[in-house]
Amino acid sequence: MSTGHKRPSGSGRLLTGVGSGQAKTLKESPPNKKARNSKHGESSVNAEISSSSSPVKPETLIDIFCDPENPKKVQFQDVSAAAYKIKTGIFHTPCSKSRLSDQLGMDIYFKKEFLQFTGSFKERGARYALLSLTPEQKKIGVIAASAGNHALALCYHGVDLSIPVTVVMPKIAPLMKVQNCRTYGAEVIIHGKSIFESREFAMKMGKENGKMYINGYDHPHIIAGQGTMGLEILEQVPDLDACIIPVGGGGLLAGTALAIKNLKPEVQVIGVESENCPSFSVSLKAGKAVYTESLSTLADGLAVPVVGVNALETAKRFH
């Protein structure tokens, strides 16, 4: 695999996944300080794990569900299954015509996903991922690292579905989001100066406790869940010509493109990313997820230096 990172001599990475029964060792990349601009932190950039009391050695971990050597192409059936499963628990948000329409001489609609309970579309994937766990996994619970919306979504739906959720949030996570996660009743751990440290900690803890790690933009169920937004948009705007999707790790774009292109291939699906972090377009050109230097951007939630491998694999066929 290559993510465009430089490799240190002798560094190893344990590819691991709870409940997957698979594990293999990869030679992979080192921590990369340039990646710290990302808010998501679920890219394959790694940070060292410092705890010494743990039975898990301080190897860097990667996620079996987001394996760069075996990326998963999510299918339309996955989105349909997600739509069926999350019918209850997720709002069918309005997609209303904007006043900008007259000004710009075209019909512009906004899909108001901020009206989901926690304020973002991330709930779709989170709820579907939780509902797709085996009964055993539902008892043990899941773990994730996030500074914001993915954490909120998982915490809220975990509590709603009585599935234990642990989120690891970096010290820089907005206080309001940390408090809200706690208010929902989930376990919140503040760990790490950056989301990269939180992620490594979460993955290590997941491995120790048997909790599945859920990547917020690249777990296949997350991508399928986000795709349900595309289904709703088609229902709400039947004569849709084009759909513009913001791109961070690429989960929302991949899922939505999958839904829309399968049902209406003539609709243009346009991903928009920050000029200061063009990781998705760079990776599309390269044909694989490559590390892309990220400069600071107002759209900090979209600054993901390495996009999701499954998201890329799923979206690239529509390119």
Ligand X SMILES: Cc1ncc(COP(=O)(O)O)c(C=O)c1O
Query: Would you say 13 or 122 has its CB closer to ligand X?
Result: 122
Give the Cα separation of 277 and 235 in Å (integer).
32
Q: Copy the structure tokens of residue 97.
A: 């015509």
Residue with smaller CB distance to ligand X, 284 or 302: 302
The answer to the question of residue 249 lying near ligand X (CB under 6 A) is yes
Interface positions, 66-125, toward ligand X (CB under 6 A): 120
* By CB under 6 A, residue 250 contacts ligand X: yes
The 119-138 site mask, x for binding ligand X (CB under 6 A), equals: -x------------------
214 near ligand X, rule: CB under 6 A: no
Please report whether residue 284 would count as binding ligand X according to CB under 6 A: no
List the Cα angle 156/252/209 in 5-degree steps. Answer: 45
Nearer to ligand X, 192 or 250 (CB): 250
Single residue of 4, 225, 251, 305 touching ligand X by CB under 6 A: 251
What are the residues whose beta carbons fall under 8 Å from the beta carbon of 279, sequence distance 6 or more? 273, 289, 290, 291, 292, 294, 304, 305, 306, 307
Shortest distance (Å) from residue 105 CB to ligand X: 26
In the region spanning residues 219 to 248, those forming contacts with ligand X, defined by CB under 6 A, are 246-248
Q: How far is CA 266 from CA 75, 232, 238, 240, 241, in A?
A: 18, 17, 12, 9, 8
Our CB check for ligand X shows the closer of 140 and 311 to be 311
CB 289 within 8 A of CB 309: yes
Q: What is the Cα–Cα distance from 181 to 151, expressed in whole angstroms?
A: 7
Q: How far is the CB of 125 from ligand X (least distance, A)?
A: 8
The answer to the question of residue 149 lying near ligand X (CB under 6 A) is: yes
Least Å distance, CB 312 to ligand X, is 11
DSSP for 157-185 reads: HHHHTT--EEEEE-TTS-HHHHHHHHHHT
**How far apart are alpha carbons 244 and 52 in whole angstroms?**
46
Interaction site with ligand X (CB under 6 A): 120, 149, 217, 246-253, 301-302
